[in-house]
Amino acid sequence: MANEGGNQFMGCFVDKGNRDLPTLIREAGGRPEKCFNMARDKGFKYAGLQNGNECWVGNDFGKHG
């Protein structure tokens, strides 16, 4: 796991139709660092990019295995 800019990369994950991370932050604009920082500022523990530009956030993950 790499630590980049205070953020820890945990790997790639697959969800099946319904999102593993439930909240979309549209203001992040697909930029990873902005996504992670905005998630933290809004009180979320986890953030991830999906489809290359969607910033999804939540406080837990792994409901798909």
Structural domain containing residue 36: 3-10+18-58
Rounded CA-CA distance 44/39 in Å is 5
Mean pLDDT of the chain: 82
Contact 46, 61 (CB under 8 A): yes
Instruction: Classify residue 46 by burial, with Cβ atoms within 10 Å: 0-12, 13-18, 19+.
Output: middle
Of 38 and 1, which is predicted with more confidence?
Answer: 38
Whether residue 29 is contained in a domain is answered as yes
Name, in order, each residue with C-beta under 8 angstroms of 56's C-beta and a sequence gap of 6 or more.
Answer: 19, 20, 21, 22, 23, 24, 25, 47, 48, 49, 50
| Residue 26 pLDDT level (bands cut at 50, 70, 90) | confident
What is the average per-residue pLDDT within 7-16? Answer: 77
* Overall number of domains in the chain: 1
Q: Which pLDDT value is given to residue 65?
A: 61
Query: Residue 51: which pLDDT band, with cuts at 50, 70 and 90?
Result: confident
